[in-house]
């Protein structure tokens, strides 16, 4: 059987790769190579951006009513066929099918939000701001935009951005992660079926060459990026240096604080869900559990019992947790487990011993639990991006807050407590963009905005919600006076309202 080749999608049709450079797409549960992916060279970047640029004027001028009709059709098709998309995600990412379906549902929420674009783009007007002068504020699309995605949410993360970008009248070039390209290509065909004009949504496959091509291309006006912190910083600096509006969401190290008065069973359940869901490959995963006071022994025991009961295996089978995305990712996580042991942390559950329920040679490592982790160990300082949960013990609530605020990342955090006052103070003082109170993975709903602080986001605007609408539009203020002979005459003074 020959391995299929995945190409670009440009102007409503497949654009075969011509660079002669390819990467391998694998099924992480079996280790099998399932496709080869065409990696773009500059001429292909130019061709795809040209398609988006050509489609922009007509799409910008398409009425809100017609744009919204396309969005509604896209939503209906996505909803009806989400299992197909979930299967593609599991086959390339490895997460279990139910988790993949959950990802699609969260992406669909943003499509539903974007269906309300008529209301969101209404602008505002002041009649008679000066005598017989009206002032109107409107928001207009920015032009062709680039969206560059990470591997861990092949559908949801691009959907944080493109439904709003398209609804607002922009055209899109999506550059998915080269590890998980099929979801983007599937979504492109779905847009076409929904009636989106050709060229409004395009997919460019590739690596750094494609990213750099987009960041420096004069016709790309805005860039939404999601990935690791070093690349996010690079994308932000390069894109803005080339005159683009950039929002670049980076990595994370998310802490979950458990106070002595918390319900320990609830906290243990949620620590396991948030630590090991999607094999820890979520930017909102909990990787550091901060146990406050004398509950630590009991809490660790309850988490350990639950961790040992998890079933790891092929995401298409009846399992809780799938493999890591690549062999390199698995080896990286193994390296961190070795480093944690060498640094003196107590290895309570060792994922290297897990026997996965899978055929072939998949990239598995089971859920791993460390206790007595200190802040100088690499398992604490680094974003491992795998199923490794580290318990850090502190004596006081103040220590827990100081620990989190000293961390260079600020994506998500959670506190488990029954003390309203303690929770309120936490929400107020913690320097993190998304906070959960007895909620371990506080991913905001589509009509609020998603984004971290500090090294977890470069730029000013968070994803989706009203901030997303602002990112993909530019403000314009129109001051109008219809001819009135009584206001004629020369006056070089600064305009004043009368």
Q: What are phi and psi of 163, to 5 degrees?
A: -60, -40
Residue closer to ligand NAD (CB basis): 157 or 172 = 157
**Closest alpha carbon to 51 in 185, 197, 193:** 197
To ligand NAD, the closest distance from the beta carbon of 208 in angstroms equals: 4
Residue closer to ligand NAD (CB basis): 411 or 473 = 411
To ligand NAD, the closest distance from the beta carbon of 366 in angstroms equals: 21
Assess contact for 150 and 227: CB atoms under 8 A. yes
Residue 448 neighbours by CB under 8 Å, 6+ apart:
464, 465
Tokens of 51: 């398609």
Answer yes or no: 319 catalytic.
no
Task: Give the DSSP letter of residue 39.
Answer: P
Which residue in the list 283, 290, 324, 404 is annotated as catalytic?
Answer: 283
Cα four-point dihedral sign 373, 375, 378, 382: positive
To ligand NAD, the closest distance from the beta carbon of 93 in angstroms equals: 10
Q: What is the C-alpha separation between 246 and 225, in angstroms, rounded?
A: 8
In a 10 Å sphere around its CB, with 0-12 CB exposed, 13-18 middle and 19+ buried, how is residue 65 labelled?
A: exposed
Please report, for residues 14, 47, 55, 132, 196, the alpha-carbon distance to residue 199 in angstroms, rounded to integers and kept in the order given: 11, 11, 5, 43, 9
Task: Give the DSSP letter of residue 28.
Answer: T
Helices within 281-396 (DSSP H only):
296-308, 327-342, 378-381
Residues in contact with ligand NAD by CB under 6 A are: 148-153, 157, 175, 177-178, 207-208, 211, 226-228, 231, 249-252, 283, 383, 385, 411, 452, 456
Helices within 10-155 (DSSP H only):
42-61, 64-80, 82-93, 97-114, 117-120
Q: What is the C-alpha separation between 188 and 280, in angstroms, rounded?
A: 28
Q: What is the C-alpha separation between 319 and 95, in angstroms, rounded?
A: 10
3-class DSSP string for 214-268: HHHCCCCCEEEEECCHHHHHHHHHHHHHCCCEEEEECCCCEEEEECCCCCHHHHH
To ligand NAD, the closest distance from the beta carbon of 29 in angstroms equals: 19
Q: How many residues does the chain have?
A: 498
To ligand NAD, the closest distance from the beta carbon of 151 in angstroms equals: 4
Q: What is the C-alpha separation between 98 and 94, in angstroms, rounded?
A: 11
Residue closer to ligand NAD (CB basis): 121 or 174 = 174
Residue closer to ligand NAD (CB basis): 226 or 400 = 226
Residue closer to ligand NAD (CB basis): 141 or 163 = 163
To ligand NAD, the closest distance from the beta carbon of 383 in angstroms equals: 5
Assess contact for 170 and 50: CB atoms under 8 A. no
- Ranked by CB distance to ligand NAD, the top (closest) residue is 227
Q: What is the C-alpha separation between 334 and 399, in angstroms, rounded?
A: 30
**Closest alpha carbon to 321 in 368, 267, 379:** 368
To ligand NAD, the closest distance from the beta carbon of 180 in angstroms equals: 8
Catalogue the active-site residues.
Answer: 283
């Amino acid at each position: 059987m020959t391995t299929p080749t995945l190409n670009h999608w440009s102007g409503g049709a497949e654009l075969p790769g011509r660079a002669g450079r390819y990467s391998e797409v694998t099924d992480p549960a079996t280790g099998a190579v399932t496709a080869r992916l065409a990696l773009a060279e500059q001429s292909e970047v130019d061709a795809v951006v040209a398609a988006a640029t050509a489609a922009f004027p007509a799409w910008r001028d398409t009425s809100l009513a017609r744009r919204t009709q396309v969005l509604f059709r896209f939503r209906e098709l996505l909803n009806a066929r989400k299992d197909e998309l979930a299967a593609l995600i599991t086959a390339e990412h490895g997460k279990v099918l139910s988790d993949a379906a959950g990802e699609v549902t969260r992406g669909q929420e943003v499509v539903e939000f974007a269906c309300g674009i008529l209301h969101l783009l209404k602008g505002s007007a002041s009649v008679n701001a000066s005598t017989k002068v009206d002032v109107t504020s409107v928001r207009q699309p920015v032009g062709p935009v680039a969206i560059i995605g990470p591997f861990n949410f092949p559908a949801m993360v691009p959907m944080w951005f493109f439904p709003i970008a398209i609804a607002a009248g922009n055209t899109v070039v999506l550059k998915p992660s080269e590890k998980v390209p099929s979801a983007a290509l599937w979504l492109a065909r779905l847009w076409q079926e929904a009636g989106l004009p050709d060229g409004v949504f395009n997919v460019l496959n590739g690596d750094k060459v494609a990213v750099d091509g987009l960041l420096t291309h004069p016709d790309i006006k805005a860039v939404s990026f999601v990935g690791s912190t070093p690349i996010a910083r690079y994308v932000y600096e390069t894109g803005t240096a080339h005159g683009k509006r950039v929002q670049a969401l980076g990595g994370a190290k998310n802490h979950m604080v458990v106070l002595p008065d918390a319900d320990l069973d609830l906290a243990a359940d949620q620590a396991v869900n948030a630590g090991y869901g999607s094999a820890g490959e979520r930017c909102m995963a909990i990787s550091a559990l901060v146990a406050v006071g004398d509950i630590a022994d009991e809490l660790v025991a309850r988490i350990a019992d639950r961790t040992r009961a998890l079933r790891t295996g092929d995401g298409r089978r009846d399992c809780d947790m799938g493999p890591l995305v690549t062999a390199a990712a698995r080896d990286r996580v193994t390296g961190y487990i070795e480093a944690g042991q060498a640094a003196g942390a107590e290895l309570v559950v060792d994922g290297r011993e897990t026997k996965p329920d899978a055929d072939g040679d998949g990239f598995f490592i089971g859920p791993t639990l460390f206790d007595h982790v200190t802040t100088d160990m690499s398992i604490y300082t680094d974003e491992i991006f795998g199923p490794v949960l580290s318990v850090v013990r502190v004596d006081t609530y103040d220590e827990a807050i100081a620990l989190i605020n000293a961390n260079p990342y600020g994506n998500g955090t959670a506190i488990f407590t029954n003390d309203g006052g303690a929770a309120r103070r936490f929400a107020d003082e913690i320097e993190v963009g998304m906070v959960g109170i007895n909620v371990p993975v506080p991913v905001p709903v589509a009509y609020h905005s998603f984004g971290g602080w500090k090294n977890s986001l470069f730029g000013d605007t968070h994803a989706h919600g009203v901030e997303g609408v602002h990112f993909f539009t530019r403000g314009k203020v129109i001051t109008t006076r219809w001819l009135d002979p009584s206001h004629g005459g020369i006056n070089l003074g600064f305009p004043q309202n009368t």
